[in-house]
Structure 1
């Protein structure tokens, strides 16, 4: 569950997450975590954003003081034209190596989106395609990791309110 609000060139949001860990032979554990983030459009071509995930870091186990780790992300989007976006992101989860990410999105006819990207540490490559029609969206992506087979992901979504209806 989340809430966001826009004012001027900035938007801020907060989200409450419910996480449940369940494993055979162990007691089911339930946790609430909080995320906070924001984005601002500095110019028509440049947007920056950041968020912190799992701010409260709930305790998973007293053994070794194990917690759900906090994650901090900072990203920049540069759109030299209305059809091309170049994205860079730095992702840091506490007690883990920093992941650097890059991506490129190309829009055809304002409805079809081609996307490609990469991660550094862990190394991975990505490709995707999306279709947007009014409030209906379909996206497909494939991920290539060094050690594993390709992973596929599909999403279908329908936006209930138009951006103009919500004031954004």
Structure 2
């Protein structure tokens, strides 16, 4: 009983401070290291962050990520995904889990993205399940839609809506999973440097501004940094891509709650 009470108290405190996990399912240490500015990235983690960018990752790959918030085991996120080029675009399948046995959120998502001129568009359909000890489980379907446009060789634009269909968790209380809208720009003056700016808005919440920088110091080694507002968090990280293997690490610091560590590993299958 004591464990249940303490876990519940910690969960309530952190959720109030971080606007809850519910509704935000971005993953990948690369994007986390650059302040979460993932809206214009065309990598494998676009499957979780902006499915519109997935068309730019024309690879067969598997990838996974582990994220822990504030050193508390109950606030751990795990993700696993795979991509496959098909029908002129890229399809992906991903799985996500956050929480422990007392409270957890799970998603199984299928996404597809295709390139149409300078624009790539994508759709993600997810089966979502929320489990709360003593309160049962709730299940629903979520739909995400996103896009990315190459305005010039150096300038990219991205936009994404998570939970476009405003999925309900309860028909009695009309409780819904938050709908989150993101838009942003990426300036890439050279192949080694990327500067990102992004705005995130949830209904009935203040807008969040994110800024990020990535610099490739060697062909297979990148350094990253960034920050976001509301609540303020600074971040940094590193990416190392030796051959077919991809490895990324990020650390985000919340001055009030502590650190967030994330590590991502991926493998690309060559034909």
Q: TM-score, normalised by structure 1?
A: 0.91
1:62: Cα distance to partner? Answer: 4.0
d(CA) in 1 for partners of 2:113, 2:188: 24
| Deviation larger for 66-75 or 54-63 | 54-63
Q: TM-score, normalised by structure 2?
A: 0.57
1:63: Cα distance to partner? Answer: 5.2
Evaluate the alpha carbon distance shift between residue 54 and residue 161 of structure 1 in structure 2; reply closer, same or farther with a 3 A threshold: farther
d(CA) in 2 for partners of 1:117, 1:47: 18
CA RMSD of aligned residues (A): 1.5
Q: Which has the higher contact order (CA 8 A, sep 6+)?
A: 2
Any idea what SS the aligned residue of 2:153 has? coil
1:116: Cα distance to partner? Answer: 0.3
1:81: Cα distance to partner? Answer: 1.8
Q: Which runs of 5+ in 2 are unaligned?
A: 1-109
What's the CA shift string for 1:79-121, capped at 9, x where partnerless? 1222111100000111211100000100022211111000011
Higher normalized strand content (fraction of residues): 1
Higher normalized helix content (fraction of residues): 2
Report the equivalent of 1:18.
127
Runs of at least 4 residues off by over 4 Å: none
Report the equivalent of 2:187.
78
1:61: Cα distance to partner? Answer: 2.4
How many residues get paired? 162
Matched, 1:147 2:242: no
Matches within 5 A, 1:14-163: 14-62=123-171, 64-160=173-269
d(CA) in 2 for partners of 1:119, 1:86: 14
Q: Is the contact made by 2:139 and 2:169 (CA closer than 8 Å) also made in structure 1?
A: no
1:73: Cα distance to partner? Answer: 0.3
d(CA) in 1 for partners of 2:116, 2:242: 27
